[in-house]
Amino acid sequence: MYSIAPSILSANFVRLEEEIAAVESGGASILHVDVMDGRFVPNITIGLPVVRSIRKSTSMTIDTHLMIVEPGNYAVQFVDAGADMVSVHIEADPHVHRTLQGIRQAGAKAGVVVNPGTPISALEEAIYHADFVLLMSVNPGFGGQRFIPRSIDRLRELRQMISERGLDVKIEIDGGIDLTNVAEVADAGAEIMVAGSAVFGTDDPAEAVRALSNRGAVWV
């Protein structure tokens, strides 16, 4: 079993409330919100005020993915704005232990994110302090990129790291997830699948969530 977490990065921001209601009606329970600062990644998206507004209009789990420098200065503010899950990049934070602890103490699930060019072994310490790991299967910054195939082996390596240590850490994957690969990434150990363009890039986001959810073990 896995969950689909639609990423609003590919949504129509003028009709955001309707877009969110559509994916919720399709069965999604987690909403992925990509926060970019134009420094950690070469793109700028949305921040705290939008998270506050989304919080008022949905009961879905809000999953904020912080692609920002110095995430430790902002992570708890996102919890206060209404996020239920907050993740920070291992590459962006020399004080990731403190940041993860702060997120947990503020009452949210704490996640650590790993870029495609960062070895999984970089998580060996942080994984003890995280509720979930977000494995990037594209380089962060933009929606609609192609899934990097090597991510499958990295998922397996991460799954093994977690089980060898007997930890209860969920694995989320982000980037290029669609109907052609969702079953394979589930098989490799991912439990939360972020999907942006494969959901909001279609005419019927609710149906897209249903289709991705029902992929089961069928490989395309």
| Rounded Cα–Cα distance for residues 16 and 155 (Å) | 32
**Contact status: 65 vs Zn ion (CB under 5 A):** yes
Q: Which stretch binds Zn ion (CB under 5 A): 33-41, 109-117, 152-160, 161-169?
A: 33-41
**Contact status: 34 vs Zn ion (CB under 5 A):** yes
Q: Is 84 a catalytic residue?
A: no
Q: How many residues bind ligand DX5 (CB under 6 A)?
A: 22
State the CB neighbour count (10 A cutoff) for residue 36: 21
**Contact status: 177 vs ligand DX5 (CB under 6 A):** yes
User: Would you give the distance in Å from CA 17 to the centre of its chain?
Assistant: 20
- Could you tell me the strand order of the sheet in which 3-6 lies? 3-6, 192-195, 170-174, 132-136, 109-114, 85-89, 61-67, 30-36
| Rounded Cα–Cα distance for residues 95 and 154 (Å) | 24
From candidates 99, 154, 197, 206, binder to ligand DX5 by CB under 6 A:
197
Catalytic residue among 93, 174, 187, 204: 174
For 7, 62, 93, 187, 216, the CA distances from 10, given in Å and listed in that order, are 7, 16, 27, 26, 24
**Contact status: 63 vs ligand DX5 (CB under 6 A):** no
**Contact status: 61 vs ligand DX5 (CB under 6 A):** no
Query: N- to C-terminal Cα distance for the chain?
Result: 18
**Contact status: 176 vs ligand DX5 (CB under 6 A):** yes
CA angle 121, 128, 6 (to 5 degrees): 80
| Closer residue to ligand DX5 (CB): 8 or 162 | 8
Contact pattern from residue 137 through residue 156 relative to ligand DX5, giving x for each residue in contact according to CB under 6 A and a dash for the rest: -x-xxxxxx-----------
Within 132-191, the residues that bind Zn ion by CB under 5 A are: 174
| Rounded Cα–Cα distance for residues 115 and 29 (Å) | 25
Q: Which residues bind ligand DX5 (CB under 6 A)?
A: 7, 9-10, 32, 34, 65, 138, 140-145, 174-177, 194-198
Residues tagged active-site: 34, 174
Q: Which residues bind Zn ion (CB under 5 A)?
A: 34, 65, 174
